[in-house]
């Protein structure tokens, strides 16, 4: 890829090239789940640190792919000497493209399980980080470890041939304990509240079933810092790839793009040392909770609040939906009236500016995030991002109308299969069980409130919410999304 840049005489201002030699960088971090977000976020921060000057060469990243997509990622990265391009788009459409060289190697674990475990067990690896999505943590709707999960059962029976991230990590830690080479930090970068605590709970739950003595050693030696990650990173279609390569002049098989905003807040708790990521803009804190709550309840919650009604209204991208005053008023009311009174704002955050910036980020035409991406996995997202705010609103006897509308829109989205323009769509909802689908497809719309993602919330115990939800189900079916929402907004 570097040769492509030189040969095509691309203007220096268009491409941010490397100030370091990737071949001189050693892996100190192993990352499981090298997707677009990791490449636009953690790998970007690591690249920025490496670019800042000498002294950080031991903190490169080796990727570990434990899914079927790992082989394709490995193929592309090897062809490009593990380099790829990241284009960051500002709200005004200006763009900066960087060549990222922080990923120094990649192992498709399904093709070579032993190599992946050996890499994780290597004493040079001091951090194992994760972006395995919410579903990768093997938790039920109540946040309990699913010991009967098919892959977990397999990993307990065949520990030397694991399928899950926790199977790989446990085997690596077993080898390190036996060799006396010490532990590593496990750093979750997934959108889970208290993601470090969740990771610790799941790993110990797994390890206790496999080897109680090993589990005790892990509990006493491994650190699990909580972290908050934030950067809107859309999926990359073939059309996007052609556009990105044409604009940059680089022939890249795996380009990635994102907004120019990025944030990473981490609790400073690393048992085996860490990179000086603060030089690249990472905020290290004692307690990530207030930052985490701010992001989950504003950005992530607003994404879910927007996704289903906007998609049903016929929109397919976030920025185009945000141009509709009906959705703008809806999200503004949600942020100001529903969320703001319920949270404690970190001392270094200007909340008014934070909310203004969120609207600018959502409306970023150059990023143009896909609503279908936001609709995915609602059964995992809504309980985490929306339910805490809803339950606090209900307990304080405030109006839940906007969230009741969201529940109605989500139920309609799952049941209908067609938007308000009669356009069919595919539903991908991995957290919805066969029993849930029976409730969703029932003519009794109230049964939807009993599906497993919401079962612990006891929404039936709030008659006003139930009444509003049922009314919105009828209104959406009769009048469509936009008319129903306009009435809620008072427009």
What domains are defined for the chain? 2-285 (3.40.50.720), 289-489 (1.10.1040.10)
Write the Ramachandran bin of 55: left for phi over 0, alpha for psi from -120 to 50, otherwise beta: left
Residue 97 pairs in a beta bridge with: 15, 87
Task: Report the C-alpha gap between 236 and 244 in whole angstroms.
Answer: 10
Vertex 265: Cα angle to 116 and 104 (nearest 5):
30
Backbone angles phi, psi at 128, to 5 degrees: -115, 115
Task: Report the C-alpha gap between 253 and 241 in whole angstroms.
Answer: 8
Write the Ramachandran bin of 368: left for phi over 0, alpha for psi from -120 to 50, otherwise beta: left
Task: Report the C-alpha gap between 132 and 129 in whole angstroms.
Answer: 10
| Tens-digit pLDDT profile for residues 402-430 | 999 999 999 999 999 999 999 999 998 98
Pick from 85, 87, 80, 126: nearest CA to 105: 80
Burial of 365-394, coded b for 16+ CB within 10 Å and e otherwise, reads ebbbbbbebbbbbbbbbbbbbbbbbbbbbb
| Tens-digit pLDDT profile for residues 22-53 | 999 999 999 999 999 999 999 999 999 999 99
Torsion of CA 347, 381, 61, 89, to 10 degrees: -70
Angle between helices 150-157 and 195-210 (to 10 degrees): 50
Strands (E), 40-89: 60-65, 84-89
Q: Identify whether the C-beta of residue 188 lies closer than 8 Å to the C-beta of residue 264.
A: no
Residues with Cβ within 8 Å of 405's Cβ and at least 6 positions away in sequence, in order, are 309, 468, 472, 484, 485, 488
Query: Does the global pTM surpass 0.75?
Result: yes
Residues with Cβ within 8 Å of 370's Cβ and at least 6 positions away in sequence, in order, are 234, 235, 316, 317, 318
- Which helix H or strand E contains 28, and what residues bound it? strand 27-32
Look at residue 490 in the predicted model and tell me its pLDDT.
Answer: 84
Token pair listed for 73: 């990622």
Helix, strand, coil % over all residues of the chain, rounded to 5: 50, 15, 35
Task: Report the C-alpha gap between 206 and 146 in whole angstroms.
Answer: 9
Look at residue 7 in the predicted model and tell me its pLDDT.
Answer: 44
Backbone angles phi, psi at 422, to 5 degrees: 65, 20
Token pair listed for 176: 């390190």
Look at residue 93 in the predicted model and tell me its pLDDT.
Answer: 85
Task: Report the C-alpha gap between 61 and 31 in whole angstroms.
Answer: 7
Backbone angles phi, psi at 455, to 5 degrees: -65, -35
Report the Cα–Cα distance between both ends of the chain, in Å, rounded. Answer: 53
Task: Report the C-alpha gap between 482 and 291 in whole angstroms.
Answer: 33
Q: Identify whether the C-beta of residue 227 lies closer than 8 Å to the C-beta of residue 264.
A: yes
Look at residue 168 in the predicted model and tell me its pLDDT.
Answer: 98
CB atoms closer than 10 angstroms to residue 67: 16
pLDDT by position in tens, the chain (length 491): 544 544 444 444 468 889 999 999 999 999 999 999 999 999 999 999 999 999 999 999 999 999 988 889 999 999 999 999 999 999 888 999 999 999 999 999 999 999 999 999 999 999 999 999 888 999 987 789 999 999 999 999 999 999 999 999 999 999 999 999 999 999 999 988 899 999 999 999 999 999 999 999 999 999 999 999 999 999 999 999 999 999 999 999 999 999 999 999 999 999 999 999 999 999 999 999 999 999 999 999 999 999 999 999 999 999 999 999 999 999 999 999 999 999 999 999 999 999 999 999 999 999 989 999 999 989 989 998 999 999 999 999 999 999 999 999 999 999 999 999 999 999 989 889 999 999 999 999 999 999 999 998 999 999 999 999 999 999 999 999 999 999 999 86
């Amino acid at each position: 890829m570097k040769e492509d840049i030189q040969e095509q005489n691309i203007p220096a201002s268009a491409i941010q090239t490397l100030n370091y030699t990737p071949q001189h960088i050693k892996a100190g971090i192993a990352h499981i789940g090298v997707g677009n977000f990791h490449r636009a976020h953690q790998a970007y921060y690591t690249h920025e640190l490496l670019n800042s000057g000498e002294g950080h060469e031991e903190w490169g990243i080796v990727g570990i792919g434990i899914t079927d997509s790992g082989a394709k990622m490995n193929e592309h990265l090897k062809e490009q000497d593990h380099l790829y391009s990241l284009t960051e788009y500002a709200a005004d459409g200006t763009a900066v493209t960087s060549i990222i060289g922080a990923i120094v190697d990649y192992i498709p674990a399904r093709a070579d399980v032993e190599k992946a475990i050996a890499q994780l067990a290597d004493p040079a690896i001091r951090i194992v980080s994760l972006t395995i999505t919410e579903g990768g943590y093997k938790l039920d709707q109540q946040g309990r470890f699913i010991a009967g999960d098919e892959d977990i059962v397999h990993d307990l029976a065949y520990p030397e041939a694991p399928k899950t991230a926790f199977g790989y990590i446990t085997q690596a830690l077993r080898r390190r304990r036996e060799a006396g080479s010490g532990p590593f930090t496990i750093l979750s970068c997934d959108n889970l509240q208290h993601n470090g605590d969740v990771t610790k709970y799941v790993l110990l739950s797994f390890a206790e079933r496999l080897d109680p003595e090993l589990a005790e050693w892990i509990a006493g030696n491994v650190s699990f810092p909580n972290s908050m990650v934030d950067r809107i990173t859309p999926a990359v279609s073939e059309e996007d790839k052609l556009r990105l390569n044409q604009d940059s002049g680089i022939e890249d098989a795996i380009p990635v793009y994102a907004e120019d905003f990025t944030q990473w807040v981490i609790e400073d708790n690393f048992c085996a040392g860490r990179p000086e990521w603060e030089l690249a803009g990472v905020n290290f804190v004692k307690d990530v909770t207030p930052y985490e709550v701010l992001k989950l309840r504003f950005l992530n919650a607003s994404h879910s609040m927007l996704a289903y009604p906007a998609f049903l209204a016929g929109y397919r991208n976030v920025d185009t939906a945000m141009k509709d005053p009906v959705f703008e008023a809806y999200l503004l009311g949600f942020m100001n009236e529903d969320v703001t009174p319920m949270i404690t704002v970190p001392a270094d955050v200007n909340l008014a500016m934070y909310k203004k910036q969120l609207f600018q980020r959502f409306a970023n035409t150059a990023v143009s995030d896909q609503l279908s991406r936001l609709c995915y996995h609602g059964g995992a997202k809504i309980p985490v991002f929306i339910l805490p705010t809803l339950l606090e609103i209900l307990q304080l006897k405030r109006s839940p109308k906007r969230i009741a509308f969201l529940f109605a829109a989500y139920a309609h989205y799952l049941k209908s299969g067609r938007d308000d323009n009669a356009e069919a769509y595919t539903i991908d909802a991995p957290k919805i069980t066969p029993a849930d689908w029976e409730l969703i497809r029932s003519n009794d719309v109230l049964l939807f409130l009993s599906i497993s993602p919401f079962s612990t919330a006891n929404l039936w115990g709030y008659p006003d919410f139930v009444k509003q939800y049922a009314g919105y189900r009828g209104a959406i079916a009769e009048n469509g999304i936009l008319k129903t929402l306009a009435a809620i907004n008072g427009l």
